[in-house]
Amino acid sequence: MKYTQLGKTDLNVSRICLGCWQLSPSFWGEVPLDPWVESVKTALDCGVNFIDTADAYGDGYAEEQLGLLMKREGLRDKFVLATKFFWKFTEPSGRHPDTTHDYILQACEDSLRRLQTDHIDLYQIHSWDAITRPDEVARAFNTLKTQGKVRWFGVSNLNPEQMELYGKHFEVSCLQPPYNLLDRTIETRELPYCLSKNIGVINFSPLFRGLLGGRYKADSTIEGKRANGPLFHGEGLKIMIKAIDEAKVIAAEHDLTMAQLAMRWTLTNPAITSAITGVKKPEHILGTVKAADDVLSHKVWYQVANLFTQAKAKALAAG
Ligand SMILES: NC(=O)c1ccc[n+]([C@@H]2O[C@H](COP(=O)([O-])OP(=O)(O)OC[C@H]3O[C@@H](n4cnc5c(N)ncnc54)[C@H](OP(=O)(O)O)[C@@H]3O)[C@@H](O)[C@H]2O)c1
């Protein structure tokens, strides 16, 4: 495993980060716990020292399960622990965004309790809240930092203007955006901004929620809510599988699987610190970990990028 510094922080993180969103039954369906627990331990054995969760995953369930596991196995100190807040899900009326001062302090206490720890290494705002002033967010962050409950702060799903605004009030250490062969939106603005400011970038969905894992066929029924996406069923899926079959040939020429090629493709971008992959069983992490060993050549990177850009356009037009 290779390690790198997360932006301007003192956190030395593995280039692959383990994501815990899979413990969110409303999106992924029921994921059995035992294989998930084994996958976290396997990731550690493979050198992964970075784990990402959120209070919203399973409305606290993912944090709770991670907390139980870390406590039982004494794993807390082995991980750089990242979590997020934003969605107030504790009200019976349903969830809504909240980044007000008092709510942040409460959300952090709740996450610390569920995670069974006294500090979070990277505390991230899950998305942009249009109706709370950045200085109010910063006031809560100052308190948490002074109390030693949080070490560094990050943001997720934000554009450069939003990061710039927050950056006037607190240090934005890290951005967590989507980035993969089928979603390259951040290449134009967010990645150059983060490079210029030395803000770490930890991209989510490097395998496009599993589609780029290479295990599906044109007639597969893909489980979970992701199946609603236009590339996950019907004509869109057929076109994607054709592109994936072509990419598998390129991957094999470089002694890689499709999942490793897709993951290595994101890690080749110099703005990317770490790619966050989601796992349900040990085979998932064992199957991708090799991606972090090296980067792709310019030729292969653009070859694969073009293949998927064209396939996506065709698939969306067909849908
Ligand atoms: N900040 C945000 O808004 C946000 C949003 C989404 C995710 N995230 C974070 O990012 C993490 C990763 O996102 P993601 O779950 O979409 O990541 P992903 O890595 O793109 O997709 C994960 C899925 O890929 C499949 N997979 C994993 N390893 C594989 C392998 N070696 N070979 C073949 N298939 C494999 C599995 O699905 P199947 O086997 O079921 O196909 C797995 O559930 C999340 O867990 C979460 O921590 C953050």
Q: For CA atoms 282, 44, 186, 165, give the dihedral sign.
A: positive
Q: Is residue 307 part of a domain?
A: no
Residue 124 pLDDT > 90: yes
- The CATH number for 171's domain is 3.20.20.100
309 belongs to a structural domain: no
Both tokens of 214, joined, read 């290479």
Question: How much distance in Å is there from the Cα of 101 to the middle of ligand 1?
Answer: 31
Residue nearest ligand 1's atom 45 by CA: 19
The set of protein residues with a Cβ atom below 6 angstroms from ligand 1 is 19-22, 52, 126, 156-157, 176, 204-210, 213-215, 259, 276-280, 284, 287-288
Q: In this structure, what token pair is assigned to residue 288?
A: 């991708």
pLDDT at 238: 93
pTM, 2 dp: 0.96
Just list the catalytic residues. Answer: 57
Domain contains 210:
yes
300 within a domain of the structure (yes/no): no
The answer to whether residue 188 is domain-embedded is yes
User: Domain limits at 163?
Assistant: 3-226+259-294
- Residue 55, pLDDT > 80, answer yes
Condensed to tens digits (0 to 9), the pLDDT of residues 76-107 reads: 999 999 999 999 987 777 889 999 999 999 99
Secondary structure of residue 89 in the 3-state scheme:
coil
Of the two residues 234 and 93, the one the predictor is more confident about is 234
pLDDT digits (tens, 9 = 90+) for 190-206: 999 999 999 999 999 99
Total domains, the chain: 1
pLDDT at 141 over 80: yes
Could you identify the atom of ligand 1 that is nearest to the CA of residue 211?
41
Closest CA relative to residue 184, chosen from 279, 304, 76, 80: 304
252 within domain boundaries: no
Does any domain span residue 91?
yes
**pLDDT (mean) for 103-121:** 98
